[in-house]
Amino acid sequence: MSLTHMVRRAVRYGLYPAGWLWIIFALTSILALEVDERPAWILVTLPILVTCLAVEWLVPLQPRWSMSWRSLPVDLVYIVLASGALALVSTGLALASITLSGSASGPARDWPLWLQVPVLFLVFEFLNYWIHRAMHEMGGHPGRVLWKIHAAHHLPRGLYVLMHAVSHPFNVVIIQSVAIIGPIWLMGYRPEAVLIFLVVNAFHGMISHFNVDLRLGPANYLFIGPELHRYHHSADMGEALNYGATLSIWDQVFGTFVYRPGAAPAELGTDPDSALPDYRQVPAVLALPFHGS
């Protein structure tokens, strides 16, 4: 058995549980030491990102889906310009949500942490599911505008961790404000619950775009991982479902759950007959929401 084969096997079945062990250890330590939740969120997720990048470079599932030297200049434009602004907006709103939760009052304020966290996830996932699904399926002018906002994330024909950052800033503002900030303000979740939510949500956001043969097994019926999210990015619109961000529960409830263990779509991206620009045309992609139908 070659070293590469052993590494692939260890990654396939061991990396996801290892990620959870790190999260549990880090969050338990942070909560016990009463560390400020705002910098803690970044400190917990940064090692996950670095690990994912290294593993993806060593043992990619599909080399043709990877960030290549040829695509790197375009990817850097998104990361430095579009995703740089996106990261500021996303991080700012995430930190604001922790700050807001410190002063917000609402029905969840006095709930125990073990109840706040699952309710926060279920509410976010429900709102995110329907916003995300509307971006793909809603008809009429509102639906076309939503799709143009969201389309930037689907234009690349690859799938890798940093591609998670290829998105229109409006997309994050909509999701964060409607599905996170609003419910936190209305429900009054504690900062500790928001920290746990943000870390787990970021973890699954990264691994769902992971170009590595990572298998969650039965956990796919609870969480969104790469086996599920790859199909969301399929160029075959009939299988491009799985709208959940972290949980797959609402996809199962509403009939949009696609799970094919160990398989992957033939092609990624959007319908080749669509009138969308190539993702390398960054200004055109960012201007999409402002164009007429």
3-state SS string for 264-292: CCCCECCCCCCCCCCCCCHHHHHCHHHCC
pLDDT tens digits, 141-177: 888 889 988 988 888 888 988 887 777 778 777 776 7
Which long-range contacts (C-beta less than 8 Å, at least 24 apart) are formed by 62-69?
Answer: 62/159, 62/211, 62/264, 64/158, 65/157, 65/158, 65/159, 65/160, 65/211, 65/268, 66/158, 66/160, 66/211, 67/158, 67/160, 67/162, 67/163
Model confidence band, residue 197 (pLDDT cutoffs 50, 70, 90): very high
Q: What are residue 74's phi and psi, to 5 degrees? A: -70, -45
Give me the pLDDT at residue 169, please: 75
> Domain-by-domain residue ranges, the chain?
3-290
